[in-house]
Amino acid sequence: MPAFPLPLETLVGKPLMYLIFAIIGFAFGYVLEISGFGDSTKLAAQFYFKDLTVLKVMFTSIVVAMVLIFAMVGLGVLDFNQVWVNPTYLWSGILGGLIMGVGFIVGGFCPGTSLVSAATFKIDGIFFVLGGLFGIFLFGETEQFYDYWWNTAGYLGRFTVMDWLHLPTGVVVLLVVLMALFMFWGGEQLERIFGKRDLKREPLMRYAGAGALTLGALAVIFIGQPTVTQKWTRLEPAKAPLLAERQVQIHPGELLASMGNDRLNLILLDVRSETDYNLFHIHGAQHVPVSDLPALVPKLLVEPPKNSVYVVMSNDEAAATEAWKVLVANSVPNVYILEGGVNQWLGIFGAEETASVPTPAPPGDDSLRYTFSAALGDHYPAAQPVPHEWQLEYTPKIKLQLQRDKSGGGCG
């Protein structure tokens, strides 16, 4: 079952799309207000262990969303690589969390609930929002002094709990659900002790909710998560014609022109053996075996700028085609194959070099059909031809597809 998008702008037009967004935002704020989350005394009560409603609501939303997301991923309805995951900046994140936590305790609001409070003209909410805006201004004016630390200290990229624990997704989902349920139970005991709450009067439906969450987490384990092969099988009807019609195989001349195009962030991935790569490779190409590509995908999804274009290459096209399938199956945009591989590149740009001599080899076996006097890598002239010295005819095929960016999230 292929994942399907929901292009609201295409379906209903931009004005109605904005109206739908406004209705959703209003409904979210209304629910927060009627739940008491616009009241700083109720929010601050959690720090005195008298009312843990905020903790319960936040963790409920987290675990429900988590179970539904990974269940849909396992069923093939949702592509997790299309979901924005905030990059992890460990040390700056810890410091920011401490600052926000102190602000929450002192002011009684988080950014989102302060806006709800301000919208209902509560004085403390208005002052909290003004303080937040001043803090944003102050950060913007001083960020230059600690920019390097803020952007590099503990940077882990698209880093998930599954990456950290090296456990299957379903197991992590179950562990997080069990942790949340334990915190719910612990929160109720704190409310009973410090808030004098009578737990006998609490609704019994919360036990049914806990059971449903646990069953959902077990279902995620049972369903599992799709492998690269399964992802490609779902995409194959739409993507295989691109290979058959030669729409993603770019001519060496187009690659050379792209290397001199400052508007593109060109990323070259050489998937050949390390021996062939060391003998000769195109300047700037990274050596990444096909088996290592899935581990590289999180970095490719979050780090490069939106104008990034990926070109995979092997000696001919066989291994590069497999690499292309892996990247496309993992939702990496703008991926192309070097037509004819390194052999065709050398046939064009290295034909007159004495360092490379063609040797007999069956076409299409993805073997390097050139011998070299030394393993100089990209130090041969053919590794970095000068673009303006070559006038080659080819049909341009690179079409830049913008990568999906974050659309918000978090407490505020």
Q: Are residues 62 and 182 in the same domain?
A: yes
pLDDT (0 to 100) of residue 5: 56
Q: Are residues 106 and 239 in the same domain?
A: no
**Per-residue confidence (pLDDT) for residue 170, from 0 to 100:** 95
| CATH number of 381's domain | 3.40.250.10
- Give the whole-number percent of the chain exceeding pLDDT 70: 92
CA distance 27 to 128: 22
Does 277 share its domain with 223?
Answer: no
**272 and 367 share a domain?**
yes
> In the prediction, which pLDDT does 369 show?
87
**Predicted confidence (pLDDT) per residue in 205-219, tens digit:** 999 999 999 999 999
Residues 6+ apart with CB under 8 A from 40: 107, 108, 109, 117, 122, 124, 125, 128
Last residue of a domain, one of 198, 227, 256: 227
| Average pLDDT of the chain to the nearest whole number | 88
Residue 399 lies in a domain: no
Name the strand (E) or helix (H) holding 76: none
Contact yes or no for 8/20 (Cβ under 8 A): yes
- For residues 194 and 241, membership in a common domain is answered with no
With respect to residue 381, please indicate whether it lies within any of the assigned structural domains: yes
Residue 369 domain boundaries: 229-389
Strands 370-372 and 356-358: antiparallel
**Which of 172, 199, 227 is a domain's end point?**
227
Boundary-marking domain end, from 194, 227, 260: 227
Radius of gyration for the alpha carbons in the chain, expressed in angstroms and rounded: 27
Q: What is the pLDDT of residue 1?
A: 43
Burial 264-301 (b: 16+ CB within 10 A, else e): bebbbbbbbbeebbebbbbeebebbebeebeebbbebb
pLDDT score recorded for residue 172: 96
pTM above 0.75, yes or no: yes
pLDDT of residue 372: 84
pLDDT digits (tens, 9 = 90+) for 168-208: 999 999 999 999 999 999 999 999 999 888 888 888 899 99
| Residue 400 covered by a domain | no
Instruction: Answer for the pair 139, 149: CB distance below 8 angstroms, yes or no.
Output: no
For residue 412, tell me if it sits in a domain: no
What is d(CA 190, CA 169) in angstroms, rounded to the nearest whole number?
A: 31
Specify the pLDDT at position 260.
86
Residue 394 lies in a domain: no
Same domain as 130, residue 254: no
Q: Which residues pair with 308 in a beta bridge?
A: 265
Could you tell me if 287 and 373 lie in one domain?
yes
Q: Is residue 385 part of a domain?
A: yes
165 shares a domain with 96? yes
In a domain, 397, yes or no: no
DSSP-derived secondary structure letter, 249: E
Domain-located, residue 115: yes
Statement: residue 159 has pLDDT above 80: yes
Task: Domain count for the chain, please give it.
Answer: 2
What is the full DSSP assignment across 254-271? Answer: HHHHHHT-TTSEEEEEE-
Residue 82 structure tokens: 């299309």
Rounded CA-CA distance 292/142 in Å is 40
| Average pLDDT, integer, range 84-93 | 89
Domain check: are 212 and 233 in the same one?
no
pLDDT per position as a tens digit, 64-83: 999 999 999 999 888 998 88
Whether residues 73 and 205 share a domain: the answer is yes
- Same-domain pairing of 222 and 236: no
Residues 262, 195 within the same domain: no
Q: pLDDT band at residue 352, thresholds of 50, 70 and 90? A: low
